[in-house]
Amino acid sequence: DIQMTQSPSTLSASVGDRVTITCRASQSIGGWLAWYQQKPGKAPNLLIYKASSLDSGVPSRFSGSGSGTEFTLTISSLQPDDFATYYCQQYNSNPRTFGQGTKVEIK
């Protein structure tokens, strides 16, 4: 199985900060990576698919990049609604696997 490792596990930031989360795959997954945002008690929400494509309705302050084994999710200017946990997921091969999550907290 492909292992997905996110860093950091927790991130403290302020409104307006630029935030970057990294996701590394244990083997190449091409560009077959998604990013999700999850708030407590809610289902995850798709932000990015195919590493860099923004899902419909997602604010443009979110962006994704990378290919192969290293990927990043960037929030260009952190907003109050963005404090949440973020997960990456590979869908290059079965079984699909998620990273362990990155919690973005208020500094």
- The footprint of another protein (CB under 8 A) covers 1, 32, 34, 36, 38, 42-46, 49-50, 55, 87, 89, 91, 94-101
Q: How far is the CB of 77 from another protein (least distance, A)?
A: 25
Radius of gyration, alpha carbons of the chain? 13
**Cβ-based nearer residue to another protein, 11 or 44:** 44
- How many Cα atoms occupy the beta-carbon half-sphere of 89 within 13 Å? 17
**Cβ-based nearer residue to another protein, 16 or 95:** 95
Q: How far is the CB of 42 from another protein (least distance, A)?
A: 8
- What sign does the CA torsion over 5, 90, 10, 70 have? positive
